[in-house]
Amino acid sequence: MSKTGLIIVAALLAAIAFALGHGVASRSRVEPRSQAEAARPVSRDLLVDALEVRDPLKRAGLLATLLSTLGPEAVPEVRGILKRPVIHTEFGVVELVLLVRFWAAHEPERATRWASMEAPMAYRVAAAVAAVETWARQDPQAALILVAEASAVGAAETPAVQRALVRGWVDSGQPGLAEYIAALGPSSPQQRAMSEFARRTLQRDGAKAVMSWAEAIPVKVPERDGPMKLAMYRQVGSELALADPAAAVLWCKRICEGAYGDRVRQLIAQRWASHDGRAALEWVASQEPGRVRDQAVKFVFRGWWRGDPEDFETWIAEMSRDGIEPWLQPLLENYAGAVARRSPEEAMQWAALIDDEATRERTMVNAARLWLVRDEAGANAWLEQSPLSEDARARAHAAAEEQLAGIAKRRQRQALRPPKPEPEMELFEP
């Protein structure tokens, strides 16, 4: 360990010793320890003292450091603290997660069952995530069985818990994860598992490891294995675009034109644009013209608009001063549609820049629909002098009427619903 590291460790230990010693000394000045207290394990006093520190940052730091020094002998004390009836009023979720991780490291099944079925409701998902991830690092197959049991009884089985299982499984280095992901079949759980696998492998082992793993997925039966490989390629591309865009670009050169590269380029563009729209668009601009590049341009808009809409609007305002370049035409329909939600009139101005007549009309009809719902008089005034055909205007009116009818039905259903009863106050005897 470096000299700096030793200094930091020493400082932490000194702080713990001071805080805990101060707590013990304070209590001893109030009243001496009884015989029952004297027989209690020292770890109980240390834990209680750490949890009584008022500053939440100091409390969490002291508890984390203390737990790292304790062994199995402290499990009963940790378990007892977690099972106190008023635990959710005593400290926050950070401290509870630390205690659960310690417990699960020594009694994984017992800790996980408590976390997923008995922990305070407000903390249950966080506790289950901590326990499952800790257990999966030791025995992912056993953790998987309990997660399935908890799901069957409606306990804390959530997307977050499934992700925790995959993270722990990757960290364990044990086999079976690929089979688990495949068994999920095409579904949201499978997508989550793939995403978490790719992200965790990237964090642990780097881009080359996750790319190699995806490429090594066997395709023995194309109808069965092909869809999984394609889905995994898409997830890996998306995660690479977030963590290492340069690696994503290199990987796309290798696989995007292959049998399992469908839409990988577009997804890389979208995820990259969510944190660096200009760089993603520059990369897309370098691609071969055609349908795939047009789609990628649209995906760049999606990612950029979700990640940093202000930056996108700054860019497009600068770009449009001299006219929109032809290769950027595909994003105009999506941008006009997004703008229409706040300003249909402004959306019409962007829609007017669309070269393709059918796309331009479709975009204007959609904006007119939103405008009619929000401001019928203003929308009709625009429609009267608009370049839209009579048929297009009629379609805009029909779509607006349908939307208004749907809104009226929803409001009617809500009005017919009986009001929820006010919860009764629980009275406690003093």
421 or 169: whose pLDDT is higher?
Answer: 169
Cβ-based neighbour number of residue 41 at 10 Å:
13
pLDDT tens digits, one per residue of 344-368:
999 999 999 999 999 999 999 999 9
**Residue 353 near residue 332, CB atoms below 8 Å:** yes
Mean pLDDT of 206-217: 93
154 torsion bin: left (phi>0), alpha (psi -120 to 50), beta (else): left
**Residue 251 near residue 240, CB atoms below 8 Å:** yes
pLDDT at residue 20 is higher than 50: no
In one-letter notation, the amino acid at residue 45 is D
**Residue 356 near residue 329, CB atoms below 8 Å:** yes
Whole-number percent of the chain with pLDDT over 90: 69
**Residue 115 near residue 128, CB atoms below 8 Å:** yes
pLDDT at residue 17 is higher than 50: no
Enter the DSSP assignment of 426: P
Q: What is the pTM of this model?
A: 0.78
Phi/psi of residue 181, nearest 5 degrees: -65, -45
**Residue 370 near residue 345, CB atoms below 8 Å:** no
Phi/psi of residue 420, nearest 5 degrees: -70, 135
Round to whole Å and give the CA distance between 95 and 103.
12
Enter the DSSP assignment of 427: P
- Structure tokens given for 221: 């039966």
Residue 189: strand, helix, or coil: helix
Round to whole Å and give the CA distance between 264 and 217.
16
Cβ-based neighbour number of residue 344 at 10 Å:
25
- Structure tokens given for 157: 């089985």
Mean pLDDT of 308-331: 94
41 or 344: whose pLDDT is higher?
Answer: 344
Query: What are the distances in angstroms from CA 254 to CA 209, 231, 251, 377, 405?
Result: 15, 17, 5, 55, 51
Sign of CA dihedral 263, 269, 273, 275: positive
Cβ-based neighbour number of residue 300 at 10 Å:
30
- The residues, ordered by sequence, that sit 6+ positions from 335 with a Cβ below 8 Å of its Cβ are 301, 305, 316, 350
Candidates 125, 120, 143, 239; CA nearest to 191 is: 239
Sign of CA dihedral 136, 139, 144, 150: negative
Residue 175: strand, helix, or coil: coil
pLDDT band at 36 (very low <50, low <70, confident <90, very high): very low
- Amino acid 323: pLDDT: 86
Candidates 369, 328, 330, 329; CA nearest to 348 is: 369
**Residue 133 near residue 163, CB atoms below 8 Å:** no
Residue labelled with tokens 């865009």: 245
Enter the DSSP assignment of 420: P
Residue 31: strand, helix, or coil: coil
For 253-273, b where at least 16 C-beta lie within 10 A, e where not — what string? eebbeeebbebbbbbbbbbbb
Residue labelled with tokens 């607006």: 400
- Structure tokens given for 350: 């962007």
Instruction: State the chain's maximal CA–CA distance in angstroms.
Output: 93
pLDDT at residue 15 is higher than 90: no
pLDDT tens digits, one per residue of 248-296:
999 999 999 999 999 999 999 999 999 999 999 999 999 999 999 999 9
Mean pLDDT of 52-67: 94
Round to whole Å and give the CA distance between 74 and 67.
9
Q: How many residues does the chain have?
A: 430
Each domain of the chain, given as residue ranges in start order, spans 40-172, 185-207+223-306, 329-409
Q: CA 371: distance to chain centroid?
A: 34
pLDDT tens digits, one per residue of 133-156:
999 999 999 999 988 877 665 655
